[in-house]
Structure 1
């Protein structure tokens, strides 16, 4: 059974990646054949240079935009999500049920594009990086809260009571006592949400139009609409924007699994 799982994993994940890599190393003529084959003229480096230089280095600009978007959004998600989860888990009130319902609703209901654009326009945030950051935070907050809350439920309340007896206020209790204990699930949230935000295609397309705010996923349009036959450049672009998140996952996949299952195991 284990061998079968390995074979399926290889077919599902490694074969498509190999196809991307080989096509990215082909010339335009061979790539247009769209076949799984070894490149007749290996020109991966030339394709990389051409992709980077396309439209005045828009891919470089897009990488910078995506990194800024990811760093700010994920940082806010970690801080806000952990604080909300702590309050919901430790400060049960008559509003807790309603708030839990709203959190679950954020996971179930699909995002409404037109009303969101209308709200951003009213606040002057449409087509701006701060506006897109707020959208990413709003769409990722429910999942983040649920992860943090599951982990916080495994932390003994006696730690909170001891800190309060020592004179710790709410903020000091959270940032000095509780937050350091959340490192396992915090790593999971950072990695999962970083991949989600960095690879997001829909939200930047709708809420941050224009070349100045382009993110890495939107650069795929450069080779789909303008150069319909340049599959070698399209797959080179895909390869370049896939490598950062792929490396991140390969190095930290154990932490991701540990953080997702820690609440269930300890609970």
Structure 2
């Protein structure tokens, strides 16, 4: 095989590997190294190994700062992420199923609204006014509602595309067997949506967990700190201790990274299955 043919065949893969190293692995390695250094070495911001690792000491210090605020932030972010993803999966699956199976005159309008929700940016002030009227402003249920609403349109499109790959004969067979609408959806259709459910959960979980703007506007204060708000506050308090700051950044990076490593194949399968089969 000549060099030119080799480059044509493997150039894209080589460029992808190099891009991954430069964009993802190098910054992650830099954060990991700084998190293991002492304050003086971390303050130099050099890409070098620490003379003596203080990884565990820095980790304990970050966790114990401000009466374990980091742990409370992780707990609140996990609750927010799990509840928001559960609401998104159930509602988006229902809407996507109805839009695909039940043809009506309202479908074009609903499709327009779904696409508009992806394009039009959220209005912060009116949303705060609505939450205040409902008594949900600065509360965890209100924040769950906001996060689920922001990601609903994207999830609806994924579920609708995947429902198109499910034969209608399954619906008809279930109806003949006496299944009602709820039993048909939750007992027959929803289990078949597992690939796209995994995709929605992973993608939206990473988005919600890393969201900074939403909690900043709709969940202000110190009652329910999230990971990203905690990082922002920690940065202002530890401006001269880069080792602790990078340790906090490392802690916020690990959960989304682990989810992607374990579920990357399911993400690709869920996002492409509807396009391939539909």
Is 2:11 the partner of 1:27? no
Offset from partner CA, 1:92-131 (integer Å, 9 cap, x none): 1000000000001110011111111111111111000000
1:73 and 2:81 are equivalent in the alignment: no
Shift of 1:227: 2.2
Are positions 1:41 and 2:52 aligned together? yes
Equivalent of 2:222 in 211, 222, 232 = 211
Moved more, 202-211 or 95-104: 202-211
C-alpha deviation, 1:264, in angstroms: 1.1
The residue aligned with 1:261 is 272
Residue 96 in 1 paired to residue 110 in 2? no
> Are 1:172 and 2:183 counterparts?
yes
Deviation for aligned residue 1:221: 2.2
Aligned residue in 2 for 1:192: 203
The residue number in structure 1 matching 2:169 is 158
d(CA) in 2 for partners of 1:223 and 1:30?
19
Partner residue, 1:122:
133
Q: Is the 8 A contact 1:58 1:211 kept in 2?
A: no
**Does 2:145 correspond to 1:134?**
yes
Following TM superposition, by how much is the alpha carbon of 1:40 offset from its aligned partner in structure 2, in angstroms?
2.3
TM-score in terms of structure 2 length: 0.94
- For residues 201 and 190 of structure 1, the distance between their equivalents in structure 2, rounded to whole angstroms, comes to 19
User: Deviations 1:133-152 (Å, cap 9, x if unpaired)?
Assistant: 00001101000100000000
CA contact (8 A) 1:26 1:41 kept: yes
Q: Counterpart in 2 of 1:105?
A: 116
Contact 1:223–1:230 (Cα < 8 Å) also in 2:
no
> What is the rounded CA distance, in whole Å, between the counterparts of 1:10 and 1:235 in structure 2?
20
CA deviation map 1:69-101 (0-9, x unaligned): 111111111000000100011011000000000
Report the CA distance between 1:174 and its aligned residue: 0.7
Unmatched tracts of structure 1, length 5 or more:
none
Match of 1:147 among 140, 154, 158: 158
Structure 1 stretch displaced more, 135-144 or 35-44: 35-44
Aligned to 2:29: 18
Q: CA deviation at 1:240?
A: 0.8
RMSD (Å), alpha carbons: 1.0
Aligned length: 267
SS at structure 2 position matched to 1:89: helix
Q: TM-score, normalised by structure 1?
A: 0.97
CA–CA separation in structure 1 for the residues paired with 2:261 and 2:210: 16
Structure 2, unaligned runs of 5 or more: 1-10
